[in-house]
């Protein structure tokens, strides 16, 4: 059950108080045991298809040519049913600090960890799909209270997107990225953060771009893993590697993005399977962790089963498979072609991400790129794949952004 209080409580991770009456509430959630028993029963009764018909002896990524291999899925299903500990994840969220508030009629859930450092800067982290706030659980503590006193510190806020996790599911259309960005500004203001930094990847990167472009009076600067250039730019003048990036991105959208087309056009249809079948939900999400991570054979080379199951189980228990998919229906290809970001920006392009934008193209939208990095490792989920590098890169990028303010 959910237990909101009448005011935000102090947490051992920092002194957090509601700035104005009942606008913000502490939040705890304990799934009834019956919900977990039902999940295990569904997993035990799952009807699985026959094995994929890939070529005999296929290895590495070729094993995944038709989607999640039966043997891999069966192994994760068994682990989910017999070993995975959801209660441990609930406790981790509580230790960080969970809250809810209502913005424009919609309940918004968020994690909030205040730094003990007097020089800390407010930082907004926005996730994407098929992610959730689970992406940030392992890195929030080090961002807020770094072991190195010379490292920058941040008051970290990580909201759940509308229709995701413990945020409310919109009952009407309209909650696209522009409205979400405006809601995030309102949320940060309620926490006393009139000006803040913003980071995101995937949909979070899109929303971070909107924040930087639409709300420069509130956003000190941004760090993004997603730099979307204005449409129609020529490849003239790009290096061979940059042209390869554009070709790989084009290939992705033409041949590997059926999930996005489905969720953008018929989210309700796929939503029935995602909300009714835990195995269907797992396969839909695990496929993306496998294809989009920087691995050779399995996402579990870099991400533990527990971390992926934290994310999948959050979707399952909150019944948000359909509502989360609708962000594609609301916002697919919706970024304003004319939007420009004039606040300082740091951009990191991980080598196995699904979209990579050449810097000359990115500069047409992000007018003050103060730091650009192309790491040697990492994919679409760097906070889970390479968490130490992710934290160091985020710190350095945001430090460059703040230095540009001086």
Residue boundaries of the structural domains of the chain = 30-46+62-403
Contacts of 390 (CB under 8 A, 6+ apart): 139, 378, 382, 383
Helices (H), 118-257: 140-144, 177-190, 203-214, 240-255
Please tell me the predicted confidence (pLDDT) of residue 152.
97
Please tell me the predicted confidence (pLDDT) of residue 271.
98
SS3 169: coil
| The Cα angle at residue 173 between residues 271 and 331, in degrees rounded to 5 | 75
Say how far apart CA 111 and CA 96 lie, in whole Å. 7
pLDDT digits (tens, 9 = 90+) for 372-385: 999 999 999 999 99
Residue of 347, 353, 351, 285 whose CA lies nearest to 313: 285
Average pLDDT over residues 92-96: 98
Give residue 102's pLDDT band: very low, low, confident or very high (50, 70, 90): very high
Give residue 406's pLDDT band: very low, low, confident or very high (50, 70, 90): confident
For residue 211, what are its two tokens?
């924040």
The answer on pLDDT for 7 being more than 50 is no
Q: Classify 328 in phi/psi space as left (phi over 0), alpha (psi -120 to 50) or beta.
A: alpha
pLDDT digits (tens, 9 = 90+) for 290-345: 999 999 999 999 999 999 999 999 999 999 999 999 999 999 989 999 999 999 99
* Lowest-confidence pick of 8-17, 115-124, 128-137, 188-197: 8-17
Average pLDDT over residues 277-295: 98
The answer on pLDDT for 35 being more than 50 is yes
Give residue 121's pLDDT band: very low, low, confident or very high (50, 70, 90): very high
Average pLDDT over residues 68-88: 98
Contact predicate 218/190, CB 8 Å: no
The answer on pLDDT for 4 being more than 70 is no
Average pLDDT over residues 173-199: 98
The answer on pLDDT for 18 being more than 70 is no
- φ, ψ of residue 159 to 5 degrees: the values are -80, 155
The answer on pLDDT for 3 being more than 60 is no
Average pLDDT score, the chain = 94
Structural class in CATH, domain 30-46+62-403: alpha beta
The answer on pLDDT for 1 being more than 90 is no
Contacts of 47 (CB under 8 A, 6+ apart): none
Distances (CA, A) of 406 to 194, 253, 325, 399: 18, 40, 41, 11
Longest dimension (CA), the chain: 64
Residue of 21, 19, 25 whose CA lies nearest to 2: 25
Residue located via tokens 């695990």: 286
Average pLDDT over residues 365-371: 98
Give residue 56's pLDDT band: very low, low, confident or very high (50, 70, 90): confident
Say how far apart CA 129 and CA 364 lie, in whole Å. 26
pLDDT digits (tens, 9 = 90+) for 337-362: 999 999 999 999 999 999 999 999 99
For residue 339, what are its two tokens?
């939007």
Average pLDDT over residues 46-75: 92
Please tell me the predicted confidence (pLDDT) of residue 14.
35
């Amino acid at each position: 059950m959910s237990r909101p209080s009448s005011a935000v409580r102090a947490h051992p991770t920092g002194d957090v108080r509601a700035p104005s009456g009942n606008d913000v509430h502490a939040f705890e959630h304990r799934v009834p045991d019956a919900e977990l028993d039902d999940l295990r029963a569904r997993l035990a009764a799952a009807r699985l298809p026959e094995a994929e018909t890939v070529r005999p002896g296929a290895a590495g990524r070729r094993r995944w040519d038709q989607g999640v291999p039966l043997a891999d899925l069966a192994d994760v299903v068994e682990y989910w049913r017999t070993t995975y500990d959801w209660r441990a994840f609930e406790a981790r969220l509580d230790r960080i600090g969970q809250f809810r508030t209502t913005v424009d009629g919609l309940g918004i859930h968020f994690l909030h960890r205040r730094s003990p450092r007097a020089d800390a800067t407010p930082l907004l982290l926005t996730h994407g799909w098929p992610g959730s706030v689970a992406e940030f659980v392992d890195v929030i503590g080090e961002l807020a209270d770094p072991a190195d006193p010379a490292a920058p510190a941040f008051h970290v806020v990580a909201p759940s997107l509308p229709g995701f996790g413990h945020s409310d599911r919109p009952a009407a259309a309209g909650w696209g990225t522009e409205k979400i960005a405006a809601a995030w500004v309102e949320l940060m203001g309620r926490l006393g953060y009139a000006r803040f930094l913003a980071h995101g990847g995937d949909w979070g990167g899109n929303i971070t771009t909107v924040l930087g472009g639409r709300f420069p009076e509130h956003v000190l600067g941004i760090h993004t893993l997603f730099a979307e250039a204005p449409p129609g730019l020529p490849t003239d003048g790009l290096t061979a590697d940059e042209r390869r990036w554009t070709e790989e991105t084009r290939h992705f959208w033409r041949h590997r993005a059926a999930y996005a087309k489905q969720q953008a056009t018929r989210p309700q249809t796929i939503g029935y399977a995602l909300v009714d079948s835990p195995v269907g939900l797992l396969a839909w999400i695990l496929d993306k962790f496998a294809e989009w991570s920087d691995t050779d054979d399995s996402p579990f080379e870099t991400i533990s089963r527990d971390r992926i199951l934290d994310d999948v189980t959050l979707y399952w228990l909150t019944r948000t498979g359909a509502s989360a998919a609708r962000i594609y229906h609301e916002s697919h290809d919706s970024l304003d072609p004319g939007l420009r970001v004039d606040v300082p920006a740091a951009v990191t392009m991980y080598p196995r991400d699904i979209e990579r934008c050449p810097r000359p193209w990115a500069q047409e939208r992000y007018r003050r790129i103060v730091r650009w990095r192309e790491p040697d490792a990492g994919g679409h989920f760097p906070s889970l794949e390479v968490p130490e590098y992710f934290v160091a890169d985020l710190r350095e990028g945001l430090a460059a952004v703040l230095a540009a303010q001086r």
